[in-house]
Amino acid sequence: MSMGDRRLDVLRAIVEDYVLTQEPVGSKSLVSRHALGVSSATIRNDMAFLEEEGYIRQPHTSAGRVPTNKGYRLFVDRLSKIKPLTAAERRAVHRFLDEAVDLNDVVHRTVRLLAQLTRQVAVVQYPSLSRSSVRHLELVRLAPGRLMLVMITDTGRVEQRIVDFPADVSDEDVLTLRSLVNDKLVGVRLTETPMEIQALVDESSPQLRPAMTTLSTVLLETLVERGEERIALAGTANLTRHALDFSGSLRPILEALEEEVVLLKLLGEIDSGATLRITIGEENDIVGLDGTSVVSTGYGPAGSVVGGLGVVGPTRMDYPGTIAAVRTVARYVSEILAQN
């Protein structure tokens, strides 16, 4: 006996009903809500089969069936129908994001929008420095021997860092340093700056050498080693909607969401491109985050990928709706970034 079409239909119906009602679904109610064309007894047989194959399970005898992670996986891979955003929703996306005035604003608005659309927790990574290149470096003198280094990237990020020099640096030297580093580094991918920075030190005049050495150390630290990824988060209040799904306690989830490293891992490897990624339950192997699914994708101007964004929710989530929202928002954010 094999997996016929009807059985797939049954699985789809189970997932859809369960996501909607949050209650185990039984054979009778399934028949009454979906035009499956067969009786509940037949459905029961199908359900027995699906259970044997590991797609659904019974929380306890004499309860309805609930999809397993394997069941959700099959659902998202083969069964779910695309559920595009309504026109009103799409208009809202555009209107809301169009008002953004700078990168911070874009990210901030995006994450809130995503949380609102999906009624779940939204996560947006700022454009990754490793995916950006230098657009401008600025040195501002704060005090004798102390400068502030400001870096602007092509993705719109602005990073700053205080640099303490062993000896004072004259205004003139500041100007020289600035033009030297700008000449050398502007347009360079951040991942490729280390050798350029080394060259800067090597080529600098004996007089400027000490200052340039200090500066280069900080440049390396800030731009490369520190791997400064930033993340915005919104919609944690939505977790309470599904408190029951999380075996009662939100603690582990809230804790995980406060860890930048965990969030980055959740969003997944940027390198996997602009494709949409879905992890279900333990597929993300983060303790405390079994029981959650993640729908994420990359975004970036003109087909490139500079960062990730996504949604975190209970495994029992409305996958088609979430997928549509994530995809639409990512696309539009990419467009906006392309304009800048």
Partner DNA sequence: TCTGGCACTCAAAGCTGTCGAGTGCCAAGC
Partner DNA sequence: GCTTGGCACTCGACAGCTTTGAGTGCCAGA
User: Are residues 32 and 17 in contact, defined by beta-carbon separation less than 8 angstroms?
Assistant: no
C-alpha 338/C-alpha 155 separation (Å) is 9
Per-residue CA distances from 210 to 167, 195, 206, 214, 217 (Å) = 9, 18, 8, 6, 11
Least distance to its own copies, CB of residue 297, Å: 23
Total number of residues that touch DNA (CB under 7 A): 26
User: Residue 44, interface with DNA (CB under 7 A)?
Assistant: yes
Least distance to DNA, CB of residue 27, Å: 3
C-alpha 125/C-alpha 230 separation (Å) is 6
Provide the mask over 96-115, with x wherever binding to its own copies is found by CB under 8 A and - wherever it is not.
-----xx-------------
Whichever of 135 and 327 has its CB closer to its own copies, that residue is 135
Which residue in the set 36, 92, 148, 276 belongs to the binding site for its own copies (CB under 8 A)?
148
Per-residue CA distances from 279 to 12, 47, 166 (Å) = 18, 25, 50
Whichever of 38 and 261 has its CB closer to its own copies, that residue is 261
Q: Which residue has the tokens 């050498």?
A: 209
Provide the β-strand partners of residue 293: 313
- Spatial CA neighbour of 234 closest among 337, 329, 168, 305: 329
User: Residue 161, interface with its own copies (CB under 8 A)?
Assistant: yes
User: Residue 26, interface with DNA (CB under 7 A)?
Assistant: yes
Which residue in the set 9, 53, 89, 138 belongs to the binding site for its own copies (CB under 8 A)?
138
Which residue in the set 20, 38, 41, 162 belongs to the binding site for its own copies (CB under 8 A)?
162
User: Residue 91, interface with its own copies (CB under 8 A)?
Assistant: no
Least distance to DNA, CB of residue 23, Å: 7
Whichever of 202 and 258 has its CB closer to its own copies, that residue is 258
Task: Report what 20 binds from DNA, its own copies, none; CB cut-off 5-8 Å by kind.
Answer: none
Stretch that binds DNA, among 58-66, 133-141, 187-195, 257-265 (CB under 7 A): 58-66
Strands (DSSP E) found in the chain: 56-57, 66-67, 121-125, 134-143, 146-153, 158-164, 231-234, 277-279, 292-299, 307-314
- Spatial CA neighbour of 123 closest among 228, 230, 231: 231
User: Residue 1, interface with DNA (CB under 7 A)?
Assistant: yes
- Spatial CA neighbour of 260 closest among 282, 230, 234: 230
Residues that bind DNA (CB under 7 A): 1, 6, 24-29, 37-42, 44-45, 47-48, 51, 58, 60-65
